[in-house]
Amino acid sequence: MRRAHPLEQAVGIDHYVTDSDGTGGELRVEPDDFRVRELEDFDAEPVDASADTYEHLLIRVTLRRWDTNDFARELSNRLGISRHRVSWAGTKDKHAVTTQLFSVDGVEPESLPEISGAEFEVVGRTGRSILFGDLAGNAFEIRVRNPDNPETAPKITEQLREFGGGTAGVPNYFGQQRFGSQRPVSHEIGLAMVRGQWERAVMTYVGNPSEREPAETQEAREFVDETRDWTEALDRLPTYLGYERSMVHELDRRTNGGDEPASDEDFRAALGELPDNLSQLFVNAAQSYLFNQMLSERLDRGLPFDQPIEGDVVCFVDNGGPDGLELPDTDRKQRVTADRVDSVRRHCKRGRAFVTAPLVGTETELAGGEQGDIERAVLEDVDLAPEDFELPDDLSSTGTRRAILVRSELDCQQDPLELSFSLPRGSYATVLLREYLKRDPEHL
């Protein structure tokens, strides 16, 4: 197997599963190069249903050059309502053309404003806001511009189909954007939090410069690392590092301008300056990193991804998902015993079951057999156990399991180089695209 880029190895992605040279090329040169359409899993009432009972207007919006959060803010501002009355099922990239569902609480279709780069389609009404779990997946149409070796694409496609057992498949890694494309440290912060190492968590976030950052940012982070002079650090940290500045300001306040050494309690309080959702993201990133490590080790050992071995834990397909999309239901699990291996393999081959690995939390039950050995070894390597995810405040996680393989009916056109595929929610298009381009992940 080909070794992954060093930036990917830092987040637990150790390999490519295709040996062919990459096509190279550029993504998102123009918004039309990257088109994403949500595969919906949400029923609505007709638009003329009672607004008293079904108070949320459900709309399908096609966006060009709009980040989802920025669009929601613009829509709420134009409507003169709280941003919290606008909800959506999945966050999408700004450098793309995206079609996705939004729900808006308490507005009528005729109130929808004209917004540049946005096309509205009224779907109906619903009694609740739309949520992340209401998204089944995403369909992608992607053009790769200026490829260096487009002739390698057919071989890559063939190798992906071999790996997926007949349908194009890749390890269901968490993509680079989960950890930071320029400075992948979110999992390191999360691991420190899970261990109760609050100073290390703060210093990993505020200090710890990356050569990929602007020079002034690197210099400011280096200063923090070397001096712990919180007052002077506030003068040096750029204003766009708002979260870092908030944490340093709290440390400066609690240590009387640096006259007193910062205690563990002080660092814990500084971390508390972050929004709850960002702190939770760090814990999730730690879980994602461990998951990636488990998949890389399974690859290293030459174990299959498309079929189980004894001791694996599988989940079964969500029969309510859209046609043509393999949607795992991780609430329906089964441990594969010796007498069940052959029958479960048949289910996996037909897309009815999926081998899983854990997103470790307090209620995680590790697999048996060789996969269990892998899971225990990865946790031992970072000196953690499932019970360590019992954290203060709302940061605890009970854990879940996630399919280790993601497959799709893939169409690859060579001239121009275009890829079309669909993925279930939570899976990353870049994890498939990296097998083709084999580029620095910052450019995926």
Q: What is the pLDDT of residue 334?
A: 96
Task: Tell whether 42 and 67 lie within a shared domain.
Answer: yes
User: Residue 119 — pLDDT band, cuts 50, 70, 90?
Assistant: very high
Q: What is the pLDDT of residue 258?
A: 74
Task: Tell whether 293 and 253 lie within a shared domain.
Answer: no
User: Residue 293 — pLDDT band, cuts 50, 70, 90?
Assistant: very high
Q: Name 60's Cβ contacts closer than 8 Å, sequence gap at least 6.
A: 99, 100, 101, 102, 120, 121, 123
Q: What is the pLDDT of residue 176?
A: 93
**Is 163 a domain residue?**
no
Which segment of 131-140, 218-227, 230-239, 343-352 scores lowest on mean pLDDT? 131-140
Task: Tell whether 38 and 132 lie within a shared domain.
Answer: yes
Task: Tell whether 298 and 255 lie within a shared domain.
Answer: no
What would the mean pLDDT of 111-128 be, rounded to a whole number? 96
What would the mean pLDDT of 217-244 be, rounded to a whole number? 95
Examine the residue annotation and report whether 93 is marked as an active-site residue of this protein.
yes
Task: Tell whether 284 and 332 lie within a shared domain.
Answer: yes
Write out pLDDT tens, residues 14-38: 999 999 999 999 999 999 999 999 9
Q: Is the pLDDT of residue 113 over 90?
A: yes
Q: Is the pLDDT of residue 319 over 90?
A: no
Distance in angstroms (rounded) separating the CA atoms of residues 290 and 11: 9
Q: What is the pLDDT of residue 111?
A: 95
Name the catalytic one among 21, 67, 93, 329.
Answer: 93
Q: Is the pLDDT of residue 99 over 80?
A: yes
User: Residue 259 — pLDDT band, cuts 50, 70, 90?
Assistant: confident
What would the mean pLDDT of 396-420 be, rounded to a whole number? 95
Closest to 406 measured CA to CA, from 372, 438, 437, 430:
430
Domain that holds residue 373: 277-403
**Is 171 a domain residue?**
no
At 265, which CATH number?
A: 1.10.1510.30
Task: Tell whether 322 and 398 lie within a shared domain.
Answer: yes
Q: Is the pLDDT of residue 444 over 90?
A: no
Distance in angstroms (rounded) separating the CA atoms of residues 304 and 320: 27
Distance in angstroms (rounded) separating the CA atoms of residues 198 and 188: 12
HEC readout, the chain: CCECCHHHHCCCCCECCCCCCCCCCECCCCHHHEEEEEEECCCCECCCCCCCCCCEEEEEEEEECCCHHHHHHHHHHHHCCCHHHEEECCCCCCCCEEEEEEEEECCCHHHCCCCCCEEEEEEEEECCCCCHHHEEEEEEEEEEECCCCHHHHHHHHHHHHHHCCCCEEEECCCCHHHCCCCCCCHHHHHHHHHCCCHHHHHHHHHCCCCCCCCHHHHHHHHHHHHHCCHHHHHHHCCCCCHHHHHHHHHHHHHCCCCCCCCCHHHHHHHHCCCCHHHHHHHHHHHHHHHHHHHHHHHHHCCCCCCCCCCCCEEEEECCCCCCCCCCEEEEEEEECCHHHHHHHHHHHHCCCEEEEEEECCCCCCCCCHHHHHHHHHHHHHCCCCHHHHCCCCCCCCCCEEEECEEEECCEEECCCEEEEEEEECCCCHHHHHHHHHCCCHHHC
Token reading at 350: 């037909």
Helix axes 276-300, 186-194, angle to 10 degrees: 100
Write out pLDDT tens, residues 129-154: 999 878 999 999 999 999 999 999 99
Q: What is the pLDDT of residue 307?
A: 96
Q: Is the pLDDT of residue 77 over 80?
A: yes
Task: Tell whether 129 and 205 lie within a shared domain.
Answer: no
- What's the pTM? 0.94
CB 270 within 8 A of CB 318: no
State how many domains the chain has. 3
CB 23 within 8 A of CB 147: yes
**Is 431 a domain residue?**
no
At 285, which CATH number?
A: 3.30.2350.20
Q: Is the pLDDT of residue 115 over 80?
A: yes
Q: Is the pLDDT of residue 86 over 90?
A: yes
Q: How many CA atoms lie within 13 A of 94 on its CB side?
A: 6
Q: Is the pLDDT of residue 324 over 90?
A: no
Q: What is the pLDDT of residue 216?
A: 96
Residue type, 280: Q
Q: What is the pLDDT of residue 130?
A: 94
User: Residue 426 — pLDDT band, cuts 50, 70, 90?
Assistant: very high
User: Residue 332 — pLDDT band, cuts 50, 70, 90?
Assistant: very high
Percent of the chain with pLDDT over 70: 100
Round the average pLDDT of the chain to a whole number and report it. 95
**Is 79 a domain residue?**
yes
**Is 60 a domain residue?**
yes
Distance in angstroms (rounded) separating the CA atoms of residues 181 and 213: 11
Listed residues 74, 102, 137: the one ending a domain: 137
Listed residues 248, 274, 300: the one ending a domain: 274
What would the mean pLDDT of 350-376 be, rounded to a whole number? 97
Q: Say which residue the tokens 């109906």 belong to.
A: 124
Environment class of 424 (CB within 10 Å of its CB; exposed 0-12, middle 13-18, buried 19+):
buried
User: Residue 1 — pLDDT band, cuts 50, 70, 90?
Assistant: confident
Task: Tell whether 339 and 385 lie within a shared domain.
Answer: yes
Distance in angstroms (rounded) separating the CA atoms of residues 206 and 226: 12
Q: What is the pLDDT of residue 180?
A: 87
Task: Tell whether 259 and 281 lie within a shared domain.
Answer: no
